[in-house]
Amino acid sequence: MVDLLELQKYFILQHLKAGDVAVDFTMGNGNDTLFLSCTVGEKGRVYAFDIQEDALISTRAHLEAEGAPENYTLICASHHRVKEFVQEPFQAGMFNLGYLPRSGRKTVTTMRETTMPAVEAALELLAPGGILMVAVYPGHEEGNKEGEMLAEYFTGLSRFKICVSRFNIMNSPTSPYFFIAEKK
């Protein structure tokens, strides 16, 4: 059976190496931040965003417990403000839309109003040859609407500049799925 999380990592690893810059647009509990940090290593740089202070606390503890390189900047701000904090091109970016896992607050979710400008800014900052991965969780109303909005947006991009693919489980319509956008 296809493991979507492993598939996401596979695609990211085709574009990201030691010394690169990466962005985790939705830090959550820090699993993607840890993956990116370990992948880019001591000479790389990772920026991670979340609007909830709990996410920063949880992520910092997770990174320290796992012995991650100290190559990360944890930012308590919405991902749509990425250009205020990241001025350099990055090689890989990850979004996991939805709510903070294990927080008990499923009403605090990513929202279309900030997700769209965050994705647009991410594509502008994405380095040539870079990848942007956006995981969508359609099991709740806002997640479903975010996915529809992103599908429409990505469909309208020039394939000569950015190649966008979608990966989903066809016979499970409420299962998470993801888009990857690769910049030429």
Question: Which pLDDT value is given to residue 109?
Answer: 64
What number of other Cβ atoms are within 10 A of residue 120's Cβ?
13
Residue 111 and residue 142 in contact, taking contact as beta carbons nearer than 8 Å: yes
Question: Which pLDDT value is given to residue 142?
Answer: 76
First to last CA, the chain: 31
User: Residues 146-177: pLDDT tens digits?
Assistant: 889 999 999 999 999 999 999 998 898 788 89
For residue 100, the domain's CATH number is: 3.40.50.150
Which of the 8 DSSP states describes residue 81?
A: G
Strand ranges, E, within 30-125: 45-50, 72-76, 90-96
Supply the pTM of this predicted model.
0.92
Query: Structural domain of residue 144, as residue ranges?
Result: 4-183
Look at the chain and report how many structural domains it folds into.
Answer: 1
User: Residues 20-42: pLDDT tens digits?
Assistant: 999 999 998 899 999 999 999 99
Which of the 8 DSSP states describes residue 19?
A: T
